[in-house]
Amino acid sequence: MPISASEILKRTVTTPDPANSNQLHDVFALPAGRTLDICLNIQSAILEHKLAPGLKLSEDEVGEIYGASRTVVRAALQALAHSGLISIRKNRGAFVAKPSIREAHEVFQARALIEPAVARLAAEVITETQLANLKAHLEAEHVAIHSADMGHALMLSGSFHTAIADIADHRVFSGMVRSLISRSSLIIALYWKRSDTACESHSHNALLRAFEKRDGGEAEKIQKSHIIDLYSGLDLRDQTPETVTLSQALGQKT
């Protein structure tokens, strides 16, 4: 029997990292408090692929898990819907979003346009402290990969991209990148076809070297090829089976 949403959420109830919640504040546009905590918790569970795309999130269950009122839960789910992680269907409730093939193409096309430009900006303004933080982030990514904590590794590789957007210090871009990265995580959960991890650390290392040299052109080039490479790792063929007649399917000549 597949594990239920409530089982998974119960296991992932953690205290959100305040540094993280500041960053996410822009996406959820929520004041610090219960609603934001629930948002962050569910977001982590989705980004770590603990909650699968398409899974139903019932208001009652979520409320019970977090000991929160229906109003608080509803506000949290609405905020998550706003960030694209959850879809709310009329009369049916909230579900972990399940991006279509078309959305997958569009998200990666947008990333390939925006993120290289953001990487260039970041390389031009990065400070020594930010460089050190980015290095530490990359090390945490390596540790997670080597300890086979793939959910955590996946979340860290996504937040490496949002960290670059924060360094670029451009609020519109960083909001866009954050939303694209969240959606990408769901897209990767659904359509990733390679056996290796989505963000191989090779590209992230190369980016870091370009940042160290403050080489905007180089950072832009590396980020572009990294995202095109990620895009090519997705199997976005139309999965809908063609309608065939019974005789075609059974190989009979008509």
- Of the listed pieces 2-10, 62-70, 192-200, 240-248, which binds Zn ion according to CB under 5 A? 192-200
Give min distance, CB of 253 to Zn ion, in A. 51
With CB under 5 A, what is the number of residues at the site for Zn ion? 1
Q: What residues form DSSP beta bridges with 234?
A: 192
Joined together, the tokens standing for residue 177 give: 């990148």
- Contact between 237 and 202 under an 8 Å Cβ cutoff? The reply is no
Which C-beta is closer to Zn ion: that of 37 or that of 115? 115
Residue 189 is a binding residue for Zn ion (CB under 5 A) = no
Nearest distance in Å: CB 44, Zn ion: 18
Stretch that binds Zn ion, among 20-28, 95-103, 115-123, 197-205 (CB under 5 A): 197-205
Cα(first)–Cα(last) distance of the chain, in Å?
Answer: 43
Residue 155 C-beta: closest distance to Zn ion, Å: 12
d(CA 235, CA 195) in angstroms, rounded, equals 12
42 binds Zn ion (CB under 5 A): no
Say if residues 191 and 236 touch (Cβ distance below 8 Å). yes
Question: Minimum CB separation from Zn ion for residue 14, in Å?
Answer: 24
199 binds Zn ion (CB under 5 A): yes
- Indicate the residue among 37 and 166 with the shorter CB distance to Zn ion: 166
In sequence order, the β-bridge partners of residue 134 are: none
Nearer to Zn ion (CB atom), residue 29 or residue 113: 113
Stretch that binds Zn ion, among 42-50, 73-81, 148-156, 193-201 (CB under 5 A): 193-201
Closest CA to 43 of 139, 162, 205: 162
List 94's β-bridge partners, or say none: 57, 88
Gyration radius of the chain over CA positions: 20
Residue nearest to Zn ion (CB): 199
Structure-block tokens of residue 209: 């070297």
**Which residue carries 């866009």 as its tokens?**
176
Compute the distance between CA of residue 134 and CA of residue 23 in angstroms, rounded to an integer: 15
Q: Shortest gap between Cβ of 226 and Zn ion (angstroms)? A: 6
Site string for Zn ion, 103-122 (x = CB under 5 A): --------------------
Residues that bind Zn ion (CB under 5 A): 199
